[in-house]
């Protein structure tokens, strides 16, 4: 299918000058005080106010066990979501931190760890870039959030996030990738595709996901989409030190988070690419209404209660190289088994989707790419598993996409999976080609046009040359 343009007519395709290479920099420690230092990171002053409805006390295991049959029936409406969203991440614990050097083996501190956090408990980066534990040739960096303590059931400590990059900075442009539910960054081919477009590539493992999941933390849990804004703020600030132009690329739940962050942070990006963003609940109108009602009713009392739902590993099996797919990833971080779905998280997603429905105000061009079709396979060998989106209702997402901002380009690809970048080779090549064309037309082309207009304004306002002296 051809792209559908929403908003003003597109600009003519043209490329901008790549500009000089930007040298790599060492991440400063919290003790440094230079004004350009992105560390420590504080919340953006222009941020939209956080949602005000709060989540109540956590339920104990005993109270969860005494939930009524009627409550369980209400949650049965969530079964389609559970079957489609196989959960992320097994607990990886302290051993991995020791292997990576984040925790000292002896009495001396790890070489890349600052001696102490900032006194005001603002977020801070731990030392300099270190080799990534999961991807050869990549580097990662941990962002500490001491002002974000664990929930009581998680034990002592605070949340962290992990920024991954594909080598030192070389370009004036960069892209930050935000993963989806049951995810972490492993898509090396995605990084290479962006690099070929002239972008330095970064990815962020959000707190309680992948590289950023530790100990007894509740995998994937959040009480608001805005919970992720602090770590995204920090990552964008750090990336922007060496890059004039930054694009955000979000997938699925990460696409929903990316859309709300971009709307709340005008002027921070030059573009937004969304890969099958979770802008709307799937299922019938009745099941969606039941899900919304149940999520909002129960989240105040039992926000972290594990909802007993059916599991379906069809999507993950269709991807993994050792099962039925072509991709290699860690099944401890992108799991076959379902992550617990919790009422507080369901409520957070519903509130975020409601905000999209009301209309966002994203101030940069947006590219939305998704499958042409959705399906609900009944068996593991159903061909639809490898040619459709079996996680989202793509028609509902397509209807919601124009609410994102003033300029939205929607592309639906025949044969695409839920993660379009993991589709069969011809489909994912089309996805990368759509990004390339969108980048040339609306990002580089827009910048070239703006530069030309600025040059024309300067020439018109320049003072006339001085008259030649006369005898």
Other beta carbons within 10 Å of 449: 14
- Residue 113 inside a domain? The answer is no
At 265, which helix (H) or strand (E)? none
Could you tell me if 234 and 241 are in contact, meaning their C-beta atoms sit under 8 angstroms apart? no
Share of the chain above pLDDT 70, in %: 65
Cα 129 to Cα 110: distance, rounded to the nearest angstrom:
13
Cβ-contact 126, 117 below 8 angstroms: no
Lowest mean pLDDT, pick from 68-77, 124-133, 394-403: 68-77
Residue 356, pLDDT > 60, answer yes
Does residue 333 lie within any of the structural domains?
A: yes
pLDDT tens-digit series, residues 12-66? 333 333 333 333 444 444 334 333 333 344 434 333 433 333 334 344 444 444 4
User: Each residue of 283-318: pLDDT tens digit?
Assistant: 655 555 556 666 666 666 688 988 877 778 888 988
Residue 216 and residue 155 in contact, taking contact as beta carbons nearer than 8 Å: yes
CA distances from 152 to 60, 328, 362 (A): 11, 35, 36
Domain that holds residue 245: 78-91+122-457
In a domain, 31, yes or no: no
Output b/e per residue, 451-464; b: 16+ Cβ within 10 A: eeeeeeeeeeeeee
Does residue 55 lie in a domain region?
no
Pull the structure tokens for residue 440: 């040339």
In this structure, what are the phi and psi dihedrals at residue 228, rounded to the nearest 5 degrees?
-90, -5
Identity of the highest mean pLDDT range in 86-95, 141-150, 310-319: 141-150
Question: What band does 398 get if pLDDT is binned at 50, 70 and 90?
Answer: very high
**CB 304: neighbour CB atoms within 10 A?**
22
Residue 446 neighbours by CB distance under 10 Å: 19
Give the HSE-up count for residue 392: Cα atoms under 13 Å, Cβ half-sphere: 30
Token pair belonging to 248: 């955000």
Compare 469 and 14 and report the one with higher pLDDT. 469
Tokens of 91: 């607990």
For residue 109, tell me if it sits in a domain: no
Q: Are 343 and 303 in contact (CB under 8 A)?
A: yes
Question: Can you tell me whether residue 408 is helix, strand or coil?
Answer: strand
Looking at 80-84, 234-238, 374-378, 382-386, which range is the least confident one? Answer: 80-84
Separation in Å, CA 93 to CA 131, 324, 328, 329? 18, 29, 22, 19
Alpha helices by DSSP H, listed for 197-284, are: 229-240, 253-264
Residue 424 in domain: yes
Is the pLDDT at 82 greater than 80? The verdict is no
**176 three-class SS:** strand
Residue 170 neighbours by CB under 8 Å, 6+ apart: 21, 22, 200
Q: What is the DSSP string of 88-99?
A: B----HHHHHHH
How many domains does the chain fold into? 1
Show Cβ contacts of residue 129 under 8 Å, excluding neighbours closer than 6 positions: 27, 139, 140, 141, 165
Strand 271-275 to 366-371 pairing: parallel
CATH code of residue 294: 3.40.50.1820
Q: Is 112 a member of any domain?
A: no
Q: Does some domain include residue 15? A: no
Contacts of 7 (CB under 8 A, 6+ apart): 405, 406, 407, 408
What integer is the mean pLDDT of 139-159? 96
- Return the number of other C-beta atoms located less than 10 Å from residue 137's C-beta: 10
The beta-strand segments (E) located in 50-185 are 124-125, 130-131, 139-149, 158-165, 173-178
How far apart are the C-alpha atoms of 346 and 181, rounded to whole Å?
A: 12
């Amino acid at each position: 299918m051809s792209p559908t343009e929403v908003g003003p007519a597109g600009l003519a395709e043209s490329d901008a000058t790549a500009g000089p290479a930007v040298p790599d920099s060492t991440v400063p420690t919290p003790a440094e005080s230079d004004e350009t230092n992105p560390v420590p990171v504080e919340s953006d002053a222009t941020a939209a106010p956080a949602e005000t409805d709060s989540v109540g006390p956590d339920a104990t295991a005993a109270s969860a066990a005494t939930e009524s049959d009627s409550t369980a029936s209400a949650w049965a409406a969530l079964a389609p979501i559970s079957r489609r969203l196989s959960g992320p991440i097994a607990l990886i614990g302290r051993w991995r931190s020791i292997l990576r050097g984040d925790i000292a083996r002896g009495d001396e501190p790890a070489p890349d760890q600052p001696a102490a956090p900032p006194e005001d408990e603002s977020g801070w980066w731990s030392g300099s870039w270190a080799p990534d534990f999961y991807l050869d040739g990549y580097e990662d960096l941990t962002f500490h959030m001491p002002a974000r303590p664990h929930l009581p059931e998680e034990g002592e400590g605070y949340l962290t996030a992990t920024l991954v990059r594909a080598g030192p900075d070389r370009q004036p442009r960069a892209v930050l990738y935000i993963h989806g539910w049951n995810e972490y960054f492993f898509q090396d081919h995605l990084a290479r595709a962006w690099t070929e477009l002239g972008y330095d590539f970064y990815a962020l493992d959000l707190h309680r996901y992948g590289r950023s999941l530790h100990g007894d933390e509740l995998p994937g849990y959040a009480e608001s989409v805005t919970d992720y804004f602090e770590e995204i703020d920090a990552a964008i600030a750090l990336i922007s030190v060496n890059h004039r132009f930054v694009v955000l690329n979000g997938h699925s739940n990460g696409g929903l988070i990316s859309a709300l962050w971009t709307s709340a942070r005008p002027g921070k990006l030059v573009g937004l690419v969304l890969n099958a963003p979770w802008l709307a609940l799937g299922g019938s109108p009745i099941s969606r209404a039941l899900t919304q009602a149940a999520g909002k009713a129960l989240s105040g009392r039992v926000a972290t209660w594990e909802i007993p739902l059916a599991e379906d590993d069809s999507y993950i099996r269709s991807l993994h190289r050792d099962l039925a797919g072509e991709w290699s990833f860690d099944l401890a971080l992108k799991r076959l088994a379902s992550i617990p779905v919790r009422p507080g998280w369901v409520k957070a997603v519903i509130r975020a989707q409601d905000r999209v429905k009301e209309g966002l105000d994203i101030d940069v061009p947006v590219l939305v790419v998704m499958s042409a079709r959705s399906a609900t396979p009944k068996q593991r060998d159903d061909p639809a598993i490898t040619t459709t989106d079996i996680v989202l209702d793509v028609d509902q997402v397509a209807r919601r996409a124009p609410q994102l901002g003033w300029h939205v380009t929607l592309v639906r690809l025949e044969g695409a999976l839920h993660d379009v970048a993991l589709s069969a080779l011809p489909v994912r090549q089309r996805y990368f080609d759509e990004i390339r064309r969108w980048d040339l037309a609306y990002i580089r082309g827009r910048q070239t046009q703006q530069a030309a207009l600025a040059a024309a304004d300067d020439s018109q306002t320049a003072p006339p040359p001085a008259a030649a002296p006369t005898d």
